[in-house]
Amino acid sequence: MTTIRILFSLGLAALPVVLAAQGQTLDPSLLGKPPVDAWPTHYGDYSGRRYSALSQINAANIKTLSLAWIHRASAQESPNSGGEYRTGDPYYWGGPQANVTIKATPLMVNGVLYFAAPDHAYAVDARTGKEIWHYFWRTRGGIHIGNRGVGMYGNYLFFETPDCYLVSLDARTGKERWHKEIADVRQQYFCTPAPIVIRNHVIVGIGGDSLDVQGFLESRDPETGNVQWRWYTTPQKMGDAGSDTWPDEYAMTHGGGMTWLPPTYDPDLNLLYVPTGNPNPVFAPRSRKGDNLFTCALVALNPDNGSMMWYFQTSPHDTHDWDSAQVPVLIDGQIDGRPRKLVAQAARNGYYFLIDRTNGKSVLTVPYVDFMNWSLGVNASGRPINNPAKDASVDGVLVAPGSATNWPPPSFNPKTGLLYVGTSQSYGMQYLTDTDERPEGYGGGSVGAAGGGGGRESFLKAIDYRTGKVRWRHVVNQGGLSLLSTAGDLLFGGDGAGNFVAYDPMTGDPLWHAGLLADPSNAPVTFMLDGRQFIVVGAGDCLYAFTLAR
Amino acid sequence: MRRLTAATVAGVWLTAGFLWAQTPPAVPTAQGQGRGGRGTESGVDRLRAFDPAAVERGRAVFGEKCASCHRANARGGQGFSGPDLIRSVLVLQDANGREIGALLQSGHPDKSKPPIPLSPPEISDIATLLHREITYAAERTNYQLQYVMTGNAKAGEAYFNGTGGCKNCHSPDGDLKGIGARYDGPLLQALIAFGALGGRGRGAPGQPPGPPPRTARRATVTLPSGETASGVLVRLTDFDVTIRDEAGMVRSWLRAGNAPKVQVTDPLQGHIDLLPKYTDADIHNLAAYLATLK
């Protein structure tokens, strides 16, 4: 039995994990293991399941789950600072935000929580909620829409800034070790992703779909920050793999494909699973005829050199801003009685994809929303077929779904075999605003999103990973839900109305809730500390920690 | 009466953004926040930062001295020898004309061409123009709709009275009288598809009560005693329900399971039911018909 199988099959039992005794050092052997007394990577482990084997907090005692502490993240400048902004910098337009919204998944290592927000990074005592240090970044600009969190290697932390620098901090003190430019903010890149560490590779994604730049994923050296490899999400020149899906080099080198999310990783196969964003110009496809590889795709890369092993395009020639930047969840499952290494994705375009992660071949493609009109169905290889009549037009077209889901991460529970996803059955009137032969930027937009189905538009859905069938749905007020499953037969997430909720993973019935000051804005995490299980969730500018009353 | 127009995508977004937050969250949501920089700074503000006079002067100089190679909109393309300047890395990295000026004064990058005789103010104006165009392209909230009405009013009227069933709730001489004079095409289409623009009359606590709009969802709460209370629905979750009753009073109840029972009626149910049935032609035709109701 291979390592990964052992780890996955033991996922139900609490694995003891030995942490290095001194300081905040993250023991590299912790990475990729089911999280127990740490939450050491963005997804907890590398699988993207956001599943914890912990069960001290469980369906039987959930009613006694109580608030342990609240931490409000500082939006102020800190004397512990860095950054490239200089007074009079002509590119400076954004500046520090008045408020912080925590969209980052915190890491928890040796009793300390590490997280980030645009222009900020923080260390907070996981036992008390008290700040240990705060680092502030003087920005040159860039869209300050969010930050998904930090990556960790030994004593080093890594996070990205809206003006696209990778910053490394000493986890013990919060002092900057170095910063490196990832992309040029003046070209309208902006960076939100959380780095993820695979051995000695800091995997770094980028964002920025405003003005037709190229997406890429990088691996950087944790000691120096130097680039180990860079993989572009679009071909660089005619003749390159995928170049026959673009009309010319100009289109492909301005073709978008952002890497908004950290990849998931299978250590046994040594493959990264990279979801890529939408092509550019976004709503105006006139200058980019073809499938536009490798945008809106799931791509398997070798983390040691960035070479592509296979790809599966989930939205060929996307024209609706349906970046496929939703978590590729690794599942070791059974199909037709045979064990299979699978990767599942509930994509923003409304389709659920189940793919063989050894070779990229489709197992299943089925819609998980009730109604879609942008697609005419699925072809023999599991790829959606576009309905060109639903491309944005000057007089407007009604497109469904508007956005079936988005970056808020799903969760997979191996005990139930269900993938939990926050979804919206929405509609948008999409207009083409740029009719030039060379459209630029978004080139159009969506107007309004409407609820269907006779009631509220958003549902928490539980998808059977083998069949894609929706086993249950539960009405919520807003479909962007970040979720966490535990072996305590619990599913944690928001309800879109300011409540943090524990749901029954078999039925979707709410078992416990707490009303917070804001809607949960990040994915919850869980870990053991001093023999007690904690659940931590971010909402607005606060982290909330819960543990059992005693 | 002033006619409302959806001049920009942003204009419609601003109103349409919360059209279908059917049970409004009582607290801000992460997804509801814009992409701006500091506080409320938006793309519109960024665009306003460019002196319109300088932009226009820049456009005139550009048209005279640059457009023959770079095209009037500076994007280059088929039949034009010059590159796209909106995506030009040199232009994107330019600071107030410094890099552009240095390049042009040291001779055009295409050495087969003579240096372009441009004065420093002309260079500054061209730089302002180009940065304005870049900001426009990169800020989707600024986009101008190019809408043209393509529908057939007769077909729209037939749909209104027939298949669509619109006449069951609306009348051209009643609630829709003069609607074509009040809204432009994109707003008419938003109204057709989604039934409302802007808020749905949440009657949220803390706001002075006014007459609820006819699009507001209403709820009837039936207590275990059999007593009922009705009003505009303010908030409904698994754990609580809040209404504003006819007297303007806010009332709320805790919920567990399905108790107390909450019956919600949505005046826009007819619109919701049509969404999966509409063809785009239906919407275009209805807009053309409503536009005739001046």
Interchain proximity B138–A441, CB inside 8 Å? yes
What is the CATH number assigned to the segment(s) A3-82+100-328+367-548? 2.140.10.10
Taking the alpha carbons of B122, B123, B127, B130 in that order, is the dihedral positive or negative?
positive
* Contacts with B278 from chain A: Cβ below 8 Å: 398
Asked if the model's pLDDT at residue A453 lies above 50, the reply is no
What single-letter DSSP state applies at residue B4?
B
Least confident of A175-189, B147-161, B193-207, B255-269: B193-207
Residue-wise pLDDT for A125-148, tens only, equals: 999 999 999 999 998 888 889 999
Of A94, A433, A517, the CB nearest to B143: A433
* Per-residue model confidence (pLDDT) at position A374: 96
Model confidence band, residue A425 (pLDDT cutoffs 50, 70, 90): confident
- My answer on whether omega of the bond before B83 falls inside 30° of 0, hence cis, is no
* Per-residue model confidence (pLDDT) at position B142: 82
Token readout for A67 is 């608030």
Interchain proximity A396–B280, CB inside 8 Å? yes
Non-local CB neighbours of B222 within 8 Å, separated by 6+ positions: B228, B260, B261, B262, B263
Residue B258's Cβ-count burial label (10 Å; 0-12, 13-18, 19+) is exposed
**How many residues would you count in chain B?**
294
Helix (H, G, I), strand (E, B) or coil at A186: helix
- Say how many CB pairs under 8 Å bridge A and B: 232
Non-local CB neighbours of B103 within 8 Å, separated by 6+ positions: B90, B109
Separation CA A47–CA A53 (nearest Å): 13
Question: Could you tell me which chain B residue has the CA closest to the CA of A513?
Answer: B239
What single-letter DSSP state applies at residue A87?
T
Domain B44-142 indexed as CATH 1.10.760.10: yes
Residue-wise pLDDT for B123-136, tens only, equals: 999 999 999 999 89
Model confidence band, residue A211 (pLDDT cutoffs 50, 70, 90): very high
Least confident of A241-255, A440-454, B138-152, B194-208: B194-208
Model confidence band, residue A448 (pLDDT cutoffs 50, 70, 90): low
Q: Which residues lie across from A537 on neighbouring strands?
A: A544
Using the Cβ of B78 and the Cβ atoms of chain A, whether some distance falls under 8 Å is answered with yes
Residue B148 C-alpha, separation from nearest chain A C-alpha, in angstroms? 6
pTM of the model: 0.92
Asked if A154 and A25 count as a contact pair (C-beta separation under 8 A), the reply is yes
Chain A interface test: which of B96, B152, B194, B263 (most A C-beta within 10 Å): B194
Question: Could you tell me which chain A residue has the CA closest to the CA of B145?
Answer: A433
Asked if A505 and A485 count as a contact pair (C-beta separation under 8 A), the reply is yes
Mean pLDDT, chain A, integer: 91
Using the Cβ of B20 and the Cβ atoms of chain A, whether some distance falls under 8 Å is answered with yes
Model confidence band, residue B16 (pLDDT cutoffs 50, 70, 90): very low
Which pairs count as long-range contacts for A338-346, CB under 8 Å and 24+ apart, including other chains?
A341/A266, A341/A269, A342/A465, A343/A264, A343/A273, A343/A298, A344/A412, A344/A419, A344/A465, A345/A275, A345/A298, A345/A314, A346/A404, A346/A405, A346/A410, A346/A419, A346/A421, A346/A423, A346/A463
Residue-wise pLDDT for A359-409, tens only, equals: 999 999 999 999 999 999 999 999 999 999 999 999 999 999 888 999 999
Model confidence band, residue A98 (pLDDT cutoffs 50, 70, 90): confident
Separation CA A448–CA B189 (nearest Å): 10
Diameter of chain A measured on Cα atoms: 68
Domain spans in chain A, listed from the N-terminal domain onward: 3-82+100-328+367-548
Of B13, B77, B273, the CB nearest to A447: B13
Asked if the model's pLDDT at residue A45 lies above 50, the reply is yes
Residue A131's Cβ-count burial label (10 Å; 0-12, 13-18, 19+) is middle
Asked if the model's pLDDT at residue B43 lies above 80, the reply is no
Best CA proximity match to A61, nearest among A533, A418, A537, A484: A533
Residue-wise pLDDT for B204-262, tens only, equals: 455 556 667 788 899 999 999 999 999 999 999 999 999 999 999 999 999 998 899 99
Question: What would the mean pLDDT of A482-507 be, rounded to a whole number?
Answer: 97
Residue A399's Cβ-count burial label (10 Å; 0-12, 13-18, 19+) is buried
Question: Could you tell me which chain B residue has the CA closest to the CA of A98?
Answer: B39
Asked if the model's pLDDT at residue A17 lies above 50, the reply is no
* Contacts with A522 from chain B: Cβ below 8 Å: 30
Using the Cβ of B261 and the Cβ atoms of chain A, whether some distance falls under 8 Å is answered with no
CA atoms within 13 A on the CB side of A170: 8
Residue entry with tokens 């889901």: A405
Asked if B285 and B151 count as a contact pair (C-beta separation under 8 A), the reply is yes
Interchain proximity A450–B272, CB inside 8 Å? yes
Interchain proximity B20–A434, CB inside 8 Å? no
* Contacts with A63 from chain B: Cβ below 8 Å: none
Which residues of A are designated catalytic? 321
Q: Which residues lie across from A353 on neighbouring strands?
A: A345, A365
Asked if A263 and A249 count as a contact pair (C-beta separation under 8 A), the reply is no
Asked if A169 and A135 count as a contact pair (C-beta separation under 8 A), the reply is yes
